[in-house]
Structures are given as C-alpha cells and as structure tokens.
Structure 1
C-alpha cells in the first residue's frame, strides 16, 4: 500500500465537533480514514492483533463491521476524547470494570506500539502533560511567565502566601475535569474563583488547594498549537464572572484573533515538544501592560469553538500534521 493510500485512524466520540472538522479536512484532501469510538469496543468493534515473536511490531485488524484497518497500514492517529469501552451489562461487577480496563488498555497500547506514526495526541503523553504543578515548572523552563502559586492544605501556609502576594487571589482545581452531578443531571464544573483572606480558614485542611495571585487582564487568549503552527484567539469578558473564569459566562464574551509574539510562540512549541505532544490548547492572560502570562495547557482541550468564532484554520493544521507532520 502506498503512503498516500494508508488511512488515518480517528478515535473519537461520534458527536465531537473537533473530530468532525478534522475528518472534513481529511476528506477534502481525499485522505482515506477510519473513524471509531473506543466506546464501541468490544461490542461493535473487533480488535485482533498478533505478534510472532520475531517481528518488530504487531500485525492485526480493527474492524467496526463496516470498515477495517490493518495496524501496519495506519499512517497517523488522531485520538480525540473517545468514550471508554462499554461492556455488556450482563457482565457483573467487578468483572465489568475489569473487562472495561482490559479493552481500554488493549486498544491504546496496541496503537501506542506502532512505530514512526504521528499522533495528535498520544494519551499516555496527555496524562503527564496535563498535571498543572509540573506544567508551571515546564512553562518557566520554556521561557513563559506564570502566576505565583501555592499548593497546600495548611491554612497558616495559605494565609502566609496571601500576605506575601498582598493582592487578590484565585483558587482553581489542581486536576481538571468535572464532578458527577448529585441529582443525575449534567456534570458540574469547578471554576476558577476569587478567594478572600478571610476564607483561608480550617476548611483548607479538607484537601489540597491551588491558590494563585490574580493576574490583571486586558483580555485572555486561547492559544492553539498544532505541529509547528500557532494560533491566537482573544477572549474579551464583559462581566465579572467571565473575567474570573470565561467558561462560566459564555453570553458575555466576544472573540477575535491576535498575532502571537514570536517569543511566546516559540516557548509554546517548546512546551508541547518537551511533553511529546503535537497539540496543545493553552490559556493566557494578557495584562494591561501587554505581558502574556501562562495559566495552563490543555493537551486535549477544545478548539472547535475557536475556529467557529474566528475562522482560524485549526482543523486544516490538524490535517496538515496528520498527513505531513513530523513524527513523534
């Protein structure tokens, strides 16, 4: 099979706007692809792989009943927030959870064993890159400014930090993601929120907290890095809530584009490179003085809304990387 005829494997939920946009770009280029959702393994997707003990890699097939792809033919993998494998409910616990973990590990680790195949992004790398404390260290090493921060469950240490900052503070989750709803509704997001010195009481002891100095903002930037391309989308908040965490008040946001300064772009590309990534969705504040301050990198962050609001060609950059990009 020629390189041009080898398919890109897209592993994503069926209803994922970003994956849809990348698939559309690949289709426009007549690039063959196979799209599956890990949630369909093992009930709708069949996976078979063999190793003969001598070959450098695995040989096998992923088949969803409509299309099949040989592991050795996969030219690139776009892994975009797939669901977890769904096991037949007739399998009782704890075996159902065990079976789910087995299916999850089989798909991811067989694909990870492919050699010289570009990924956006290998989730093994995503997991390490998403840890906020080490992100801040890596960001500084790459040349970015970050907020002064403390992680603690000690009220006295939190109050001492507040005294040192001598200004507004925010508290944010150390680990991203959403909380399960208590009433079966939508999952709950824990937003970044302001905290007063008076709030730094014994409740700090309940768990570890990430406190940071509140950075003054002229506006914020969602910066998307894909391969060696960097895109900057501005987010202007028109409410106090949106100014603290723009995700909490989308009705009071306006969007635009901004050229990314070369030193910031180079630092961001170094940051994703040191984590073995090809993609990152990064959040910055731009201060009234024009300084860019890094908050975090989301290795599987959302970006479809950025392209929809700004027209930035992010999906095309994904397709460029998956068909021509450097190998990780």
Structure 2
C-alpha cells in the first residue's frame, strides 16, 4: 500500500464503517481494515520492533500489509473483543497475550491520530464517570442514584417521577431474540429485593418536549432534534415513529461538549439530551463510539465526510 494508511478496527460487518471507508477510498487514502479480536492471529500477522522513534514493522492482513510507523490514523470503531478459542488455560492465556500484544502496539503507534484511542473509549464508557464529568463541564444533569439498596431506590422514586436505565448497553436476549433494555419509568411499589442483585441506575424523569443527539467529530458538532410520539420515554424503542430535524447547537452547549471530550481524551462522541419546553438541554449520556449513520440521511448531517477528513488530515491525537 502506497502512502500513509488509515487502519479501521471494527467487525467484519459494520455498515457505518463501510461509509467512512468508501469516502476514504474516494479520497484515495489507503485503508487497511481488520477485526483484531477475530483476525489475529488466524489471518493477521504482526511483526513490530521498538526503536528510538517508537514502534515500526509490519501488520499484514491477508494480502494487504502496512508499515506501522507510517500509519496516519486508527479509526477504532467496534471490534470484537479478544476471545479464547476454547476454555483451556492455554487458550485464555493466548487471548490475553493477543490483546496486550497487538492491542498494545495499535495503541502506541507513533504520529498516529486516534479516533478515538481505545483506552480513552474504555474509560468514557462508565456512566458514573460521564455524569460526574458532565456536571464539571457545565451540563444540566438530572438527579441520579446508583444503588443496590431497595430502600434507597424506593425513597428516590418516591421523591420524583423516576426512570431506570442500564449502566451498560450489553447484548440481551428475550426468548432467543436480541432485545434492547430501554430507559423506563418505575414506581416505588415496583422496586423490591431484586434491586439488591446488582447495581441499578435511577434518574429523575425529565419532562421533555423532544430529544437531541449531538454527534461531535473533533471540534465539529452536528445536532439533530428527535421527536417521538407523545409519552415515549426512550426514543430508541420507537425508531419507526420518529421525526428528525437538523438544529443548531447553542454555543454554551458546544463549549461543554468539547470540554467533555477533552476531559476523556476523545475525538468523537454521540451525546443524548432531553430538551424541555423552556429550551434547557439535559445531559443524559455520551456514547464514545455511538451510532450516527442513520442520522446523516434522516437529518442531512455530513458526518461521514467530517470523519473521513479528520482521518485523512488530522493531527496526532492528544494523550489518552
């Protein structure tokens, strides 16, 4: 591959990454795509040497190979985790060696822009850290309780209308079919001893008039108003009945968005806000690797071009 390549680390089937790769191809930027958790070491070969200028050597995937020292950017999308081939001690050991070997080298490339750095993404996925950072950068944040105490949960829900939210959007199956766990209202009488089985996040229900998703690519902010049917708490449960409209981001919100990303060392974030009738934007969460492709078409937001431009021309990343 001639020229400085972009590495795209994601699953083999990722329609969102496909859009960015197509745009990079249009710009004649070399791209090497891999899923480290699945491709290595079966179909990928790593040969990295440490020198005074950092890591150099080759990463080869199939018939394509790149010079690690020449990588201009790593687009860390949604790769599979490094998993053991079986349940033996040797396989588990090998999976961890792969994670720290290939993953460690990919996280320490010289003169490489990270969108975003894998370690920064991992830190930012913790909602307690997100909510604390949101307060610090000036966002308005709903009253929140994280607890495993049923009595605390009941008392909180008795104080104001309350919703339950999962702390992590992990895969969940119902009757063998994939399902989402959406934010949902809860009443004090529904909260029993099962609260004690794990940590739960409860939050004051925001009396919103609409939602906004703000997608931030480095210092560029793209916002879409999302209008759901009356009474819908979590718009993700009503994809077929949503209306979208591109909206301007208030300057104060924009400043807080950039400060939030800087606090975690991120170059990308998909933020969700509930907006009340008085125009207040209430911070709900930030997905440091959130989806955005459907918004581009629905609201006319040029996010693909912004990401490709950053990967093509951006400066090396801030320290993670």
Partner of residue 278, structure 1: 267
* Paired residue secondary structure (2:208): coil
- Matched with 1:221 is 212
Question: Quick one: distance in 1 between partners of 2:64 and 2:163?
Answer: 49
- 8 Å CA contact 2:47–2:59 kept in 1: the answer is yes
**More deviation, 31-40/284-293:** 31-40
Counterpart CA distance in 2 for 1:25 and 1:231 is: 18
What TM-score do you get using the length of structure 1 for normalisation? 0.90
| Cα displacement string for residues 9-51 of structure 1 (whole angstroms, at most 9, x for unaligned residues) | 1111222122111112212211122112222111111111123
The answer on whether the counterparts of 2:137 and 2:260 sit within 8 Å (CA) in structure 1 is: yes
Residue 249 of structure 1 aligns to a residue whose secondary structure is helix
Q: How far did residue 290 of structure 1 move?
A: 1.1
Render the CA deviation track for 1:177-196: whole Å, top value 9, x for unaligned: 223x375x343322111100
Q: Render the CA deviation track for 1:84-118: whole Å, top value 9, x for unaligned.
A: 3466x5x6623323322322222221011113311
Q: Is the 8 A contact 2:107 2:118 kept in 1?
A: no
Q: What is the distance in 1 between the residues matched to 2:174 and 2:128?
A: 29
Unaligned segments of structure 2, at least 5 residues:
none
CA contact under 8 A between 2:82 and 2:95: conserved in structure 1?
yes
Taking the aligned partners of 1:258 and 1:92, their CA distance within structure 2 comes to 50
Residue 195 (structure 2) pairs with residue 204 (structure 1): yes
| Aligned-partner Cα distance in 1 for 2:205–2:27 | 45
Which sections of structure 1, spanning at least 5 residues, go unmatched?
Answer: none
1:42 aligns with 41
1:200 Cα offset (Å) = 2.5
Residues 230 and 70 (structure 1 numbering): CA distance in 2 closer, same or farther, change over 3 Å?
same
Deviation of 1:239 after TM superposition, in Å, equals 5.4
Backbone CA RMSD of aligned residues: 1.9
Q: How far has the Cα of 1:273 moved from its partner?
A: 1.1
- Give yes or no for contact 1:178–1:190 (8 Å, CA) kept in 2: no
Query: Within 5 A, what are the aligned runs for 1:84-233?
Result: 84-85=81-82, 89=85, 93-163=88-158, 165=159, 167-179=160-172, 181=173, 185-233=176-224
The alpha carbon displacement at 1:287 in A equals 0.6
Equivalent-residue separation in structure 2 for 1:177 and 1:86 (angstroms): 17
1:18 to 9, 16, 19: 16
Query: Of 304, 313, 324, which aligns to 2:313?
Result: 324
**CA spacing shift, 1:17–1:68, aligned 2, 3 Å:** same
Check whether the contact 1:84–1:100 (CA below 8 A) recurs between aligned residues.
Answer: no
Deviation string, structure 1 residues 190-239 (Cα, Å, up to 9, x no partner): 21111001112322222221110000111101110001100001111115
Paired residues of 2:69 and 2:110 also in contact (CA < 8 A): no
SS in 1 for 2:286: strand
**Cα separation, 2, equivalents of 1:105 and 1:248:** 37
Selected match of 2:63 from 55, 66, 70: 66
**261-270 or 78-87: bigger deviation:** 78-87
Aligned residues: 316
The offset of 1:148, in angstroms, is 0.4
TM-score by length of 2: 0.93
For 1:6, the equivalent position in structure 2 comes to: 4
Instruction: Measure the CA separation in 1 of the matches of 2:87 and 2:282.
Output: 49
Task: Please give the per-residue CA displacement for 1:230-266, whole angstroms capped at 9, x wherever unaligned.
Answer: 00011111154xx211112211212111111111011
The Cα of 1:59 is off from its aligned counterpart by: 1.9
Question: How far off its partner does 1:56 sit?
Answer: 3.8
